[in-house]
Chain A
Amino acid sequence: MNLEALAACVASASCAVTQVSTGLIVGTLLFLVAAGLSLIFGVLGVINFAHGAFYMLGAYFAFSAYTLTGSFLAALAAGALGVAAVGVAFERLIMSRVYGRDLLMQLLVCYAVILILDDGVKILYGGEYRLMGMPEAFAAPPVEVAGGFIPAYYLFMVGMALAAGLALWLGINRTRTGKIVRALAINPQMVGALGINTTLLYAGVFGLGSLLAGVAGALAAPIRTLTPGMGLSILIESFIVTVIGGMGSIAGAFLAALLIGFTRAFGAIGFPLFVDGTMFAIMALVLMLKPSGLLGREAA
């Protein structure tokens, strides 16, 4: 516990800027993963416990594409589209068979898929840590703000997340398809009765949610070490984010992801051993005071 260091950091512009940028990065990744989790839950009513494994896959797909082509754009595309494809396959072949069945069965198939994906990655890439390295496009010197340094890649990441979040929000709230998806979340029978192919929509929504996890994984690849099982901690954190922000709320996920990001960044200086505990305390507090989350609808 070192609260003086924390106070000193907040007081010094350079340290504050560095930590804020770190918090933004953590928050960005969390937001992307949580938004996908929340989207799938909001529409399909299932929590995809394998969502973290999809994030891991995104990182490894990006790693492979980057190693093969040397292009970060290709890496990003591989992470996003590859995971979206895996997500659709998972939904069609496995998850759709346990909709409406015991919760126990839904948990078990996710558990099985995590085991298989983690082991599969271990077989293909080996169990040890992998580093992808920073793509050359972002080798530019860090941007200096008030004495603190922000790597160029960080700015790109935050921009990507903002764009993805905005696109998702617009897509859900301002397009016809978005309207149908929202209706699907409330009354699937009615949507089906209107002659809309709900099976396709479910797969599409699941694919989109998975794509977000894939994008997050691909974006994380240059700045994180890759290891089988890397998806678990982000799964838990993104769950905490969705609980704090409110299940099904994109804006809530954004707010909560930033909150957790900054808690992590500044907590690492002030109370490194209690960062996890603080996150859980915030979640418990929200659950006690407003069980539906900061921006969630009532009746969670």
Chain B
Amino acid sequence: MLRVEHLSKSFGGVRATRDVSIDFPDGSLTAIIGPNGAGKTTFFNLISGHIRPDAGRVLFDGADLVGLSSLEVVRRGMTRAFQVASLFPTLTVEEALAAAVASRRRQSWRVLARFPLPDARARVEEVMELMGLSGQARVLSRNLSHGDQKLLDIGLALALEPKVLLLDEPTAGMGPDERWRMIGRVQRLWELKRMTVLFIEHDMDIVFRIAQAVHVLKYGAVLAQGTPDEIRRNPDVIDAYLGTDHQLSAAFGEA
């Protein structure tokens, strides 16, 4: 359903993405890893229509997404959450979610009805339930804790009922316990909804525990791809990580 072919992008002289080709099977849970500056976020920006690639194709449901605005990409069923939670500070959790649901149902232009639309309620409650935000329904987004903000960010993407969900470091800035709680939610979500989930992650424990497939980016190119076990044993990957990040090498060492 989602396939990327020969994707390339340069900024000035820097080649942020080099000839990346990846196939994401329907309903897969895939991790994108790589050292800092490997071009992971750029990769997400390219497939979500945020940045236009210099070359290559992004095939989604058989159609090429390159050149479409992020708006059109969203409407075709690919949504994303951000590394730094990108929220609506003055809206409450349930308001923001209800507005997202309205957008999904093409009801955002309705002026004669009252917000929120009654038929959005079930969906809003479901998303809050999934993300564990039911208790915070009436809290302003900007007053949420860091972890809850990340959850709401994902919840907003989820409210659009995506076929493909891109999560840019869902656990960024979290403590160890919080990380596991977050990733547990992501996994449960994926199991329940059976959508295609791509996530960028730094914590190797998490990656190896939950991902079905792992793609390693380095200097914008695919260094390796495979199952967690294959990646764990791949000498190139170990090379790439050794010496660059001790914590990560430690993770490999345990394996």
Answer whether A and B touch in the complex at a CB cut-off of 8 Å: no
- Residue numbers of B with Cβ under 8 A of A are none
